[in-house]
Amino acid sequence: MTAETLVRKGRKFDQVLDGAQAVFLRDGFEGASVDDIAREAGVSKATLYSYFPDKRLLFMEVASAQCRRQADEATVAMDSSLPPRAVLRQVAERFLAFITSEMGQRIFRICVAEADRFPDLGRQFYQSGPMTMRRALVDYLHTAQARGEIAAEDLDLAADQFAEMCKADLWPKLVFGVQTSFSEAEIARIVDGAIETFMARYGA
């Protein structure tokens, strides 16, 4: 039985999610109590349990909802009629805005911390956000290639390489706590470098 089949939607579903998000980000997965989540959400424990049979499912839904929101916003902003440099910039800026945000960092750290105990947390996180954005970028690259703007034998690999280049320098610093926030200039440096490197390799 999947997580989706266990979660029941209802009138106070979003209210529960908002409360849970606030508590998970404040206390982490292990430190978050069902009592605190119910209090923050303004619902009874019975109501909370009627939507989510256990805390793991609740956290998965919170993390996935955030990833879906970011992926949806990035996909909507992606204008397939624009040239590659413009679209790649849109993708890179949306991607980095999320992974460098407090929300993005906390969700990632909680997923990593709970990976051994709940391996499906990471899979759910990946499939709901990064994979959605990857598919959208690959679809765009197909369109750009058909217009003669991109030349690549493996567009899936090209999309993955671009995502990795967007994390250059920033991601290791985030993961190891060396730096937790970045200036517009620092992010622009990485984005510009990723676009120029990508186009040097795949620009037609």
Q: What are the domain boundaries of the chain?
A: 3-202
**Tokens read off for 119:** 């391996």
**Tokens read off for 72:** 């949806």
Tell me what pLDDT residue 76 has: 65
| Res 126 pLDDT > 80 | no
Tell me what pLDDT residue 34 has: 93
How far is the CA of 124 from the CAs of 30, 60, 121, 127, 195, in angstroms? 18, 7, 5, 5, 29
Tell me what the mean pLDDT of segment 170-190 comes to. Answer: 92
CB 167 within 8 A of CB 99: yes
CB 112 within 8 A of CB 105: no
Write phi, then psi, for 150 (nearest 5 degrees): -130, 145
3-202 has which fold?
Answer: Tetracycline Repressor; domain 2 (1.10.357)
| Res 3 pLDDT > 50 | no
Give the start-end residues of each E strand in the chain.
none
- Sequence length of the chain is 204
What number of helices (H) and strands (E) belong to the chain?
Answer: 12, 0
Tell me what the mean pLDDT of segment 45-57 comes to. Answer: 89
